[in-house]
Amino acid sequence: MKQWLVSAFAVCMLLAFGSASAQMTTLDPQSIDAYLNSLPKVEALGRKLENQGKGDAWLKEVTPEIGQNFNPHQQGVALLSQEEPSAYQELTQITRQHSFTSAERWAEVGDRIILAYGALKAESESPEMFAMAAEFDSVNPQMLQMLPPEIRQQVEQAMLIVRAFAQVSDSDKQQVRPFLSRIDTVLSQY
């Protein structure tokens, strides 16, 4: 299970860099398709930024934090617009080529897709994660303090991701379900 959580976290981070709390009205197949079709160009932009040494700060900023929503795409786009306006403009052009009105809209859709994907995978592969997350809430905070800081942070971040998965709407999961194998294929390329 720990390996699955680490993998889910890594996937979210990869997509966040290359690239939910705010909910749009509906997540539809056309938006999911457009998002998936945009990923090769977004990933190429991410690689270009990494090659220029401009990736580390954004990756740190989009890690799950207690008290914040887990929306890595949206956080990554916000940081990109602040730190690298020309790259943000390039991302905006890419997302508009794929029917999104803005990079922010693309990020909102991307967060919802990835969270729904993660929730569906967790439900099918590790349903006990949700029970563990509920149990985690009842753990005495002092017990957590006994863990080494890096382990404690990993556990807290994993639980934040599981909680985010648990909050995904049934509607989003229904819309993403037909795309599971395609998402698996796309994510395996990065």
pLDDT tens-digit series, residues 10-53: 444 444 443 333 445 689 999 999 999 999 999 999 888 888 88
Q: Total structural domains in the chain? A: 1
Domain membership of residue 126 (yes or no) is yes
Q: Region 51-73: what's the mean pLDDT?
A: 72
Q: Region 142-160: what's the mean pLDDT?
A: 83
Range of the domain at 144: 2-183
Task: Please determine, for residue 183, whether its predicted confidence score (pLDDT) is greater than 90.
Answer: yes
The better pLDDT of the pair 24, 183 is held by 183
Whole-prediction pTM: 0.78
Q: Which of 117, 129, 115 is nearest to 185 (CA)?
A: 117
Domain membership of residue 98 (yes or no) is yes
H or E, element range at 99: none
Domain membership of residue 43 (yes or no) is yes
The 3-class secondary structure across 112-165, one letter per residue, is HHHHHHHHHHHHHHCCHHHHHHHHHHCCCHHHHHCCCHHHHHHHHHHHHHHHHH
